Amino acid sequence: MSRFAILFVAVFSAQALFSQPSRWQQRVKYQMDIDMNVENNRFTGKQHLDYTNNSPDTLYQVFYHLYWNAFQPNSMMDSRSRELGKVLIGGRRGEGQPDWDTRIRDRILNLKPDEIGYEKVLSLKMNGVSQSFKEQETILQVKLGKPIPPHATVVFTMDFEAQVPIQIRRSGRDNPQTGVRYSMSQWYPKMCEYDYEGWHPTPYVAREFYGVWGDYDVTIAIDKNYVLGGTGYLLNANEIGYGYETAGTRVSRPAGEKLSWHFSAPNVHDFMWAADPQYKHLVRNLPDGRVINVLYKNKDNDPRMDTAWKTLADAAVIVMPFMEKSFGKYPYRQYSFVHGGDGGMEYPMSTLIIGPSLGAAFHEWTHSWYQGMLGTNESLYAWMDEGFTSYATALIENYYYTYQLKKHPDNAGLQKIVNQEKQELPSNHSAAYNSYFFFVKSGFQEPLSTHADHFNTNLAYGIASYSMGEMFLEQLGYIVGAQVRDKILLEYYRLWRFKHPNASDFVRVAEKVSGLQLDWFKEYWIYTTKTIDYGIDSLWEDGGKTKIRLKMIGKMPMPIDVLLQFKDGSKMIAYIPQYLMFGSKPVEDSSIPRTEYDPWKWTHPTYTFEVNHKLTDLKVMEIDPSQRMADLDRKNNKLELNWEGVSPPGGN
């Protein structure tokens, strides 16, 4: 390499380094030893936690999550679920469906003592000195005997015990749907996050999660007949076996009734595991050495289930290159799809999934990017996780089924799936838009900025977080251009992974990549319930030119694309930027000529532009033919003209 090339690389690397946004992160290093009793569904644990305070603040207290204490009668989760069950959604007055989460309902209230969940901290020391702590249901508050100064590392040591609850929500035991024995998520006392906004001791009411990145070293002693899967790398695979061993290695298990599974997980913010004596383990090796694990239980010995889980394993190998190309590099050496839980729930390097649905599998895996690596505070920005993940899932599903159709062009089922997706507008995301339109009309709409646990209904949380979050990215593509939006997602991942970005961080990346001002879009879509509605007001001919007047009916401004089709077969796009953008998006479809007009100022309810055609030349005009704009009433967006037998108009 020449001296010039070396200098260029050095300068470029320095620029890339300094272009990274700085935001300090707390750091954890867990070492846990767990002894599981499968007879009484309890375990004891010893936790050694190195906690590094990278903040500029002195900490006088710390907080831990004790999630399983939610699974006790009259807990916050129990009470909240029963209260939401009194809210009726849909139907005539008094005839709707209860709004509670059907997995929870009033089940917690009826748990028996041996069915509840709990986590009990028996002792807690910092640097060898006992600390005073107070259990407040799912939060442990610790008043420190000595404060933790900035940039200091301390050691917390803890003895604790827990009882695995009957499967209610996400974690638990003996789910009758799956037959899986243990789904072990939110299972250990976990340090709460402290960030630039302070402590986040969020009680476990329903959703969502926020954690400190760090390294986990976890050893689980359990009956030797059990097979485990979940987060991390199995360090003693050759003495465990069960499909984890190196190919060709003879497994040599130690004597005794229990096996100790030793896992290591670097740079993650949580640790999940699941266990069952009848798990089957499928392994798929990627060309670069990374591994896909699939662990499932076929409780009915149905051969169709075996086939479905094998299809899932193979599908993961197919879509991985597309996911990394579209959303960024997956940095870990393994990913595990683990049968368990109560639906689908994401964790670092793994997911609990109730069945072999490809859509659910793709969705939970994609959370590895938006929850696992970017790690926004889901309580405050659930839409940035669930919504972005839903957006990406739609693209992954389309890629997968298109890939399969190319291999099997005569498969009628695949043809139906792919053709349906092509016909739907906006492509791949129509379900999210339809949910949103229902949401607005339902009267239950709340802003995306609502805390995840504080939505008035489960309905509002679900549509706001999933559907409106998905639509945020699709509409962003409409505003800045789809290709630019795709670049934004990759740059967002590059700049903000492992840094807990917020909404403003994402929008700032979008502004830098696009060169447009986008704070208005963020403010309207996230912090208000104002809606979009544009329409064709009138058109007339003046001096041989056609004048077209549009009207802004809704209260949220947007840029406007208008497709014009003429009787000679030609087309054009009239592009009207939104004044607040202070710029314009690039041409998206070069096959159709585009004319850019002056920006539309949001204070003006109408906008008039002209085209160099007679009025009778115009056959069709349509506002937003891509239908990416969340326009509530599309009936006034399109006008088809039939001039046969009509005299040419004049004037206005």
Mean pLDDT of the chain: 94
The 3-state DSSP composition of the chain as helix, strand, coil percent (nearest 5) reads 30, 30, 40
Dist. CA 594–CA 109, nearest whole Å:
62
Question: What is the distance in angstroms between the CA of the first residue and the CA of the last residue of the chain?
Answer: 71
- Residue 18 binned pLDDT confidence (cut-offs 50, 70, 90): very low
Helices (H), 22-124: 76-84
Dist. CA 300–CA 179, nearest whole Å:
9
**Is the predicted pLDDT of residue 243 greater than 60, yes or no?**
yes
**Is the predicted pLDDT of residue 39 greater than 90, yes or no?**
yes
Report how far apart, in Å, the C-alpha atoms of 416 and of each of 140, 410, 427, 445, 460 are. 53, 11, 15, 34, 32
Tell me the per-residue pLDDT of 292-344, one tens digit each, with 9 for 90 and over. 999 999 999 999 999 999 999 999 999 999 999 999 999 999 999 999 999 99
Dist. CA 167–CA 220, nearest whole Å:
20
**Do residues 220 and 273 touch, judged by C-beta distance below 8 A?**
yes
Helices (H), 19-163: 76-84
Mean pLDDT (whole number) for 105-124: 98
**Is the predicted pLDDT of residue 360 greater than 80, yes or no?**
yes
| pLDDT confidence of residue 416 | 84
Q: How many distinct helices (H) and strands (E) make up the chain?
A: 14, 33
Query: Angle at the Cα of 199 (from 454 to 183), degrees rounded to 5?
Result: 65
- Cβ atoms within 10 Å of 44's Cβ, excluding its own: 15
Dist. CA 117–CA 108, nearest whole Å:
10
Find all residues with CB under 8 Å of 540, minimum gap 6, and list them.
546, 547, 615, 649, 651, 652
Residue labelled with tokens 């906008």: 607
- Assign residue 252 a region (left: φ > 0; alpha: ψ between -120 and 50; beta: otherwise): beta
Peptide bond into 559 cis (omega under 30): no
Tell me the per-residue pLDDT of 400-414, one tens digit each, with 9 for 90 and over. 999 999 999 999 888
Identify which of 510, 500, 461 has the alpha carbon closest to the alpha carbon of residue 208.
Answer: 461
For residue 218, which amino acid is it? Answer: V
**Is the predicted pLDDT of residue 88 greater than 70, yes or no?**
yes
**Do residues 332 and 283 touch, judged by C-beta distance below 8 A?**
no
| pLDDT confidence of residue 646 | 65
For residue 392, which amino acid is it? Answer: A
Three-class secondary structure of residue 219 per DSSP? strand
| pLDDT confidence of residue 530 | 98
| pLDDT confidence of residue 648 | 57
Residue 392, both tokens:
């990406």
**Do residues 343 and 317 touch, judged by C-beta distance below 8 A?**
no
- Cβ atoms within 10 Å of 318's Cβ, excluding its own: 14
Domain with CATH 2.60.40.290 in the chain: 24-212
**Is the predicted pLDDT of residue 5 greater than 80, yes or no?**
no
Query: Angle at the Cα of 304 (from 303 to 306), degrees rounded to 5?
Result: 65
pTM above 0.85, yes or no: yes
For residue 222, which amino acid is it? Answer: I
- The residues facing 59 across adjacent strands are 148
| pLDDT confidence of residue 650 | 53
Provide the CATH number for the domain formed by 534-640 in this structure: 2.60.40
**Is the predicted pLDDT of residue 17 greater than 90, yes or no?**
no
**Do residues 652 and 540 touch, judged by C-beta distance below 8 A?**
yes
Dist. CA 500–CA 378, nearest whole Å:
10
Peptide bond into 208 cis (omega under 30): yes
Residue labelled with tokens 């290591």: 264
| pLDDT confidence of residue 10 | 41
Q: What is the 8-class DSSP label of residue 71?
A: S
Residue labelled with tokens 């406007």: 560
- Assign residue 77 a region (left: φ > 0; alpha: ψ between -120 and 50; beta: otherwise): alpha
Report how far apart, in Å, the C-alpha atoms of 223 and of each of 115, 208, 341, 610, 635 are. 21, 32, 21, 78, 64
Dist. CA 465–CA 371, nearest whole Å:
13
- The residues facing 260 across adjacent strands are 221
CATH number 2.60.40.290 given to 24-212:
yes
